[in-house]
Amino acid sequence: MIKKILRAMGSLRFALVIFAVIIFVSSIGTFIRQHAPEEETTQRLAEIFGDAAPAVWSFLDKTGFTDLYHTYWFNFILLLLALNLIFCSIEKLPSTWKKLTGKISTDKDVFKPYFFEEKEFKVSSEDVLKTFDKVFSRWNKTKEGDVLAAEKGRYGKSGAFITHLGLVILIAGGFIGGIFGYNGNIAILEGKMENVVTIGKGKDITLPFNIYLENFETEFYENSPKQSSFRSKIHFIKDNVTTDAYVSVNSPVKFEGITFYQSSYGVFPNKDVIFKFTVDSLISGISSEYSMVLGQEFDIPELKLKAKLNDFAPALGQDSDGNLINFSTQLLNPALNIIFINEEGDSVSEWIFMKDPASGDFSNLHITFNDVWGAEYSVLSARIDPGLPVIYIGFIIISIGVIVAFYTSHRRVWVVVKETNGTVSVRFFYNKDKGRVTARREAEKMFKNLSASIEERKGGK
């Protein structure tokens, strides 16, 4: 009973079922961003499931699809795959080992179907044997010496076992990373410092150092609200020692064995947001730089005006009726609203756009909106994976196994020698386990070389 179970677990059918399950659940795990906030995932699901999105998210969260690669059931599936490879290899190893280490068969029933060509030579059978020994390094013969057998590329049969070994090592590396490593997120607001990585529901890891986000920088395509690139300027602080770094999507940073990737970002409106702008007086030529929060005032003496930072919109635009609206929570088109007040108390409100310098042009005055600091936050993905070197080793072994399995062929040659009255009849048999299309061409070349070697021996008599 146990043997039947082990044989079934090592079968090709079982492997195909396991692969199908892994592909299916992994495709879901690819669609659902791992460790993403509930709001983000629900918003994405709403595009497909509409009002049912919250219920779908709840199901995915409870079944582990929001943290797929750390669930017990997914790792159990990988364990089944590893066991399938091990049992399959154990079952096939004895027969394959025999082929790898044993002598090539000289049984005529084995090579009878592979007859290729026959030719007569005016030499002795001993000459044919010596020629065969010269051409082939690995060969065998019958006691009578009438059947000679040789082979090349025997090691190609080990390719599948090498590949299986690499896969098992790769899976083992995944287990090591899953048990002893982690992959989580750390969100940092501009001007703030954090050291806690969230790796799952209610699971936090405190880093042995702090990360300070000095600035989050975003660049946009020309005349487009779409971001072309974004990066975080951060400082790692440990034992009063600061290490500066930039983290972007394609440029991760490694510190203390932990790799940090730029994951996402967002805007968090708060009272501490600082707006940086420059006021250029066209009367005096004086340029003044300001860093202020909403509600603060500043004077413009040359024009006898007071100015107050009144409001802010991260993405100010117009609707179909021409009314001003904020169309996004991201900093797609930042605009600062300033109220100008004269000595009589009359006031006027103006919007100044960061991306439209002309919006800051006034009579005898120009205001440039430079930056919004403290409103954006950066989400860094923190990853430590001690199993990664093991995974790399697994990939290398798999690559070697694939090369051996698919780019080497086991070729077998048999020669039946029959000597009569000073003439030797040589019957040539050839078999190749892969590349049957090229087998005949190779057989012709090999038989031609063998014939030429025999003729040379004849001429040397």
The pLDDT value recorded for residue 143 is 81
Query: Which of 43, 59, 90 is the C-terminal boundary of a domain?
Result: 90
How do residues 272-323 score in pLDDT, each as one tens digit? Answer: 899 999 999 998 889 999 999 999 999 998 888 999 999 999 989 887 887 8
The pLDDT value recorded for residue 84 is 93
Cβ 259 vs Cβ 384: under 8 Å: yes
Domain assignment of residue 42, yes or no: yes
Cβ 266 vs Cβ 330: under 8 Å: yes
CA distances from residue 108 to 111, 122, 136 in whole angstroms, order as listed: 6, 25, 20
Domain assignment of residue 61, yes or no: yes
- Give 48-101 as a DSSP string: HHGGGHHHHHHHHHHHTGGGGGG-HHHHHHHHHHHHHHHHHHHHHHHHHHHHHH
Average pLDDT, the chain: 86
Cα(66)–Cα(68) distance, integer angstroms: 6
The pLDDT value recorded for residue 223 is 67
Are 255 and 280 members of one domain? no
Are 309 and 368 members of one domain? yes
pLDDT at 60 over 80: yes
Q: How far is CA 348 from the centre of its chain?
A: 55
The pLDDT value recorded for residue 333 is 87
Ranking 83-92, 253-262, 443-452 by mean pLDDT, the lowest is 443-452
When pLDDT is averaged across residues 205-229 and rounded to a whole number, the result is: 84
Tell me whether strands 376-384 and 182-189 are parallel, antiparallel or unpaired: antiparallel
Where is mean pLDDT largest: 3-17, 135-149, 348-362?
Answer: 348-362
Cα(458)–Cα(443) distance, integer angstroms: 22
Where is mean pLDDT largest: 100-109, 121-130, 154-163, 252-261?
Answer: 252-261
pLDDT at 246 over 90: yes
Ranking 135-139, 257-261, 401-405 by mean pLDDT, the lowest is 135-139
Residue 82 falls in which region: left (phi positive, over 0), alpha (psi -120 to 50) or beta = alpha
Distance between terminal CA atoms of the chain? 67
Cβ 452 vs Cβ 139: under 8 Å: no
Write the CATH number for 430. Answer: 3.30.310.80
For the chain, the domain total comes to: 4
The pLDDT value recorded for residue 312 is 93
Cα(115)–Cα(111) distance, integer angstroms: 7
Q: What is the DSSP letter of 34?
A: T
The count of other CB atoms within 10 Å of the CB of residue 9 is 16
Domain assignment of residue 353, yes or no: yes
Are 2 and 61 members of one domain? yes
pLDDT at 424 over 90: no
Are 79 and 215 members of one domain? no
The pLDDT value recorded for residue 435 is 61
Cβ neighbors of 61 (< 8 A, separation 6 or more) are 38, 201
Cα(330)–Cα(376) distance, integer angstroms: 9
Q: Would you state the torsion angle of the CA atoms of residues 30, 31, 35, 41, taken in this order, to the nearest 10 degrees?
A: 180
Q: Is 206 exposed, middle or buried (0-12, 13-18, 19+ CB in 10 A)?
A: exposed
- Give 248-281 as a DSSP string: ETTB-EEETTEEEEEEEEEE---TT-EEEEEEEE
Tokens coding 353: 């756009």
How do residues 22-41 score in pLDDT, each as one tens digit? Answer: 999 888 888 887 777 777 78
Structural domain of 46: 1-90
Are 84 and 114 members of one domain? no
The pLDDT value recorded for residue 383 is 92
Domain assignment of residue 108, yes or no: yes
